[in-house]
A and B are shown apart, each in its own frame.
Chain A
């Protein structure tokens, strides 16, 4: 589904991503984890075709990822990308006008599921409700690949829970592949199939969540604490 072959990205002299090799399969939920600056967002932007590698390849559904890939990829950014003066209804209609695969019916169901009010103006929404609306907009697209960059950041536990539930309720698990970056790993671990760990722009490991528990008797968080520290030590 998604394949990185020795992909490297530099900003000036700094490596954002170094010789990245990665395989992502269809129909699974992946957690992309690592400290700030580990290359998580760059990885997502490359899958979305927003950033091209300096060397190596990024293939999405067999094609090199470029701007055309946006047809197949729904990308939820860390940033707010709303028109403040729009109501929720107008924001949905606007998004539907930009993406042919946007399903208004699904968006309406999601808005109700999240207890949002169609007539409310974006500028009057709380931070939590802005977070919910972002998810509604990206989940409403009928696309094979969903990229969620820090969907939980700065949101309270109630909002985080409603986001997790709506993912479980509205994802099409037979067709859709999801990659989520997050610092709230403990919270979303139960919904993940696999985790991919990055550190300093490099690929560290990829594991199925149950494999860690079965073979090492550890949750993802425990495993990371033990293994990432060791990795850091080796570098010093």
Chain B
């Protein structure tokens, strides 16, 4: 359908993550209004109750605020957003490091390999 979801995680969590990534990439910015629950449900092809849970979870994380009668907005509090983006980065690095360690690669080697990989990429290979 319109969006694909993995089987192993609740759909509302996957949409939370999707919105966090959009904020991290500056596709959505501080203070911006999010689409209404119904609009978001239609564009993603999911049940409105799912979006309600997504917005509820984002609100709990203080990433969004619901203003009565106006809708849901991304917080103006940049410190909260910066912390959230840092946390996402941190989690991604944790995962990378853990995976490399499982492969038996030392930390020095990890840094070397990563540098080599990125250099190659820049070289267009």
Contact = CB atoms under 8 A, between A and B. Distances in A.
A156 interface: no
Given A190-B5, A210-B10, A213-B8, A28 B49 contact: yes
A219 B38 CA distance: 23
A138 to B, nearest CB: 19
Given A28-B49, A190-B45, A161 B7 contact: no
B2 interface: yes
A191 B3 CA distance: 12
Contact of B53 (A210, A219, A221): A210
B7 A213 contact: yes
Contacts of B10: 210, 213-214
Given A168-B42, A169-B42, A217 B11 contact: no
A219 B7 contact: yes
A218 B6 CA distance: 9
A221 B47 CA distance: 17
B11 A164 contact: no
A179 interface: no
Contact of A165 (B7, B12, B42, B49): B42
B42 A190 contact: no
Interface in A55-114: none
A20 interface: no
B41 A168 contact: yes
A209 interface: yes
Interface in B24-55: 38, 41-42, 44-50, 53
Nearest to A223: B7
Contacts of A222: 7
B67 interface: no
Nearest to B3: A190
Contacts of B48: 168, 173
Q: Which of B1, B5, B38, B44 has the most CB of A within 10 A?
A: B1
A192 interface: yes
Interface string A180-219: 0000000100111100000000000000011001100111
Determine the main DSSP class of A at the interface with B: helix
Contacts of B41: 168
B1 A187 contact: yes
A193 B46 CA distance: 10
Nearest to B8: A217
B68 interface: no
Contacts of B47: 29, 168, 190-193
Nearest to A169: B42
A110 B42 CA distance: 15
Given A190-B50, A210-B12, A210-B50, A164 B45 contact: yes
Contacts of B8: 213, 217-218
Given A190-B1, A210-B53, A217 B45 contact: no
Contacts of A209: 11
9 contacts: A161-B1, A168-B48, A190-B47, A191-B45, A210-B50, A214-B9, A217-B7, A217-B8, A219-B7
